[in-house]
Amino acid sequence: MISSHMDRKAYCQKERAWSSEEDEILVNYIQVHGEGNWRDISIRAGLERCGKSCKHRWLNYLKPTMHRGNISVEEKELIIRLHKLLGNRWSMIAGRLPGRSADEIENYWNTYLSNEVEEKQNNTTLPSTNMTTTSMLTIESPLAGNCMESLPAVIKPKVVRLKR
pTM of the model: 0.56
Residue 115 lies in a domain: yes
57 shares a domain with 10: yes
Residues 6+ apart with CB under 8 A from 141: 147, 148, 149
Find out whether 60 and 101 touch, Cβ atoms under 8 Å.
yes
How many independent structural domains does the chain possess?
2
pLDDT in tens, 111-145: 888 888 888 878 875 554 444 444 444 444 444 44
In the 8-state DSSP scheme, what is residue 49? Answer: S
CATH code where residue 49 lies: 1.10.10.60
Domain that includes residue 11, residue range: 5-62
Residue 80 lies in a domain: yes
Give the pLDDT confidence score for residue 42 in this predicted structure. Answer: 85
87 shares a domain with 40: no
Average pLDDT over residues 142-149: 46
58 shares a domain with 21: yes
Give the pLDDT confidence score for residue 148 in this predicted structure. Answer: 44
